[in-house]
Amino acid sequence: MNGVLNYYKPSGITSHDAVNIVRKIMNTKKVGHIGTLDPMACGVLPMLVGNATRISEYLIEHDKEYIAELTLGLRTDTYDKEGKPIAQSDVTVTSEQIVDVFKQFEGQIKQIPPMFSSKKINGKKLYELARMGKEIDRKPNIVDIKKLNIMNIIDNKKIIFRVKCSKGTYIRSLCDDIGMKIGTFGYMSFLQRVQVSNFKIENSINDDLLKDLKQKDTKKDFLIPIDKAIDYMDSINVNEEYFKKLCNGNSIPIKQRQNFIPNTNLRVYSNHIFVGIGQINIENNNAILKMKKVLLGDN
């Protein structure tokens, strides 16, 4: 079985635990995931099954969308509800203050990765150092908050919001930074990922549903074919002769397309059968296509 499973991870398990669940249910060891979710978080965790693990690089860079809850008045060492309280504030804020501060976090912002994260510095994961009681300087990263919409404010204490952001954004850090900017403290008390690339929560599958399926072929029906999982890419169809040249590492000429951008990836089909991912470029003022990854038979 090869394809992408739009899996719904429940809260309380790690992303690695979720991979093991899918491995057992789908009866294959070849399973990976796109974008780690913390144990307390729930939501969309796309699973790459079989040879779909070979397309992870083409999906992991995409934007992600979340619904989160920020609780004001308390700061924790992990920036979420599972951490140890380290600071408290009784400062009261107004809804106007909250709305004003949220607006300041839209667009490109600098964000320092939390100590309790899997980011590596000098070969060490930050959470490993944090568990030893160590804190080191971390350089801020530029992340892009593309949408940040407040959904509800409860007693000027809890803020439920929806955010669309670039890869590498820590929603826990966003909550901590917003709390500080408002003039108090804050921590992330809920997180649900609602979309990764074109994988949406309304189309996701939980493990309870998968466990109820006995037939292998029925389980396969829940897998999104590899070429459909990357359908944000344009496509091109080549004849059998050209496909053989591509498979041998040769490039082939193609008609230059409107709005042509060098290094653009394409889904490549031969006789309308998906065969892999290619890249178009310019060579001697001519547009050419070269294969990057042959995936024939991987559907």
pLDDT digits (tens, 9 = 90+) for 31-49: 999 989 999 999 999 999 9
The pLDDT score that the predictor gives to residue 247 is 87
pTM of the model: 0.89
pLDDT at residue 286, rounded to an integer: 82
Q: List the domain boundaries for the chain.
A: 3-62+198-228, 64-196, 233-294
Q: Which residues on adjacent β-strands are paired with residue 288?
A: 253, 281
* Angle (nearest 5°) at CA 51 between 24 and 40: 50
| Superfamily covering domain 233-294 | PUA domain (2.30.130.10)
Annotation marks residue 221 as catalytic: no
CA nearest to 292, candidates 225, 252, 246? 246
CA distance 107 to 171: 14
Q: Determine the Cα–Cα distance for residues 197 and 63; give it in Å rounded to an integer.
A: 6
Give the strand pairing for 234-238 and 8-9. unpaired
- Indicate the residue type of 299: N
Are the C-beta atoms of 46 and 147 separated by less than 8 Å? no
Distance between CA atoms of residues 171 and 40, nearest Å: 12
Q: Do domains 3-62+198-228 and 64-196 have the same CATH topology?
A: yes
User: Which pLDDT does position 204 carry in this prediction?
Assistant: 95
Distance set, CA 83 to CA 44, 66, 174, 230 (Å) = 23, 20, 16, 37
On whether the 3-62+198-228 domain is CATH 3.40.50.11540, my answer is no
SS3 call for 127 = helix
The DSSP output letter for 257 is P
CA gap 194, 226 in Å, rounded: 21
Helix pair angle (95-103, 171-182), 10° resolution: 130
Q: What is the pLDDT along the chain (299 residues), one digit of tens a residue?
A: 899 999 999 999 999 999 999 999 888 999 999 989 999 999 999 999 999 999 999 998 899 999 999 999 999 999 999 999 999 999 999 999 999 999 999 999 999 988 887 788 777 788 777 787 888 888 899 999 999 999 999 999 999 999 999 999 999 999 999 999 999 999 999 999 999 999 999 999 998 887 776 565 577 788 999 999 999 999 999 998 998 999 888 889 887 665 667 888 999 999 899 999 999 988 887 888 999 999 976 55
Contact 85, 75 (CB under 8 A): yes
188-240 per-position pLDDT tens digit = 999 999 999 999 999 999 988 877 765 655 777 889 999 999 999 999 999 98
Structure tokens at 271: 């006789």
In contact, 227 and 270? CB cutoff 8 Å: no
64-196 maps to which CATH number?
3.30.2350.10
pLDDT reported for residue 259: 61
The enclosing H or E element of 9 equals strand 8-9
Q: Which of 38, 80, 227, 298 is catalytic?
A: 38
Cα distance between residue 96 and residue 219, in whole Å: 49
| Residues 6 or more apart in contact with residue 122 via CB below 8 angstroms | none
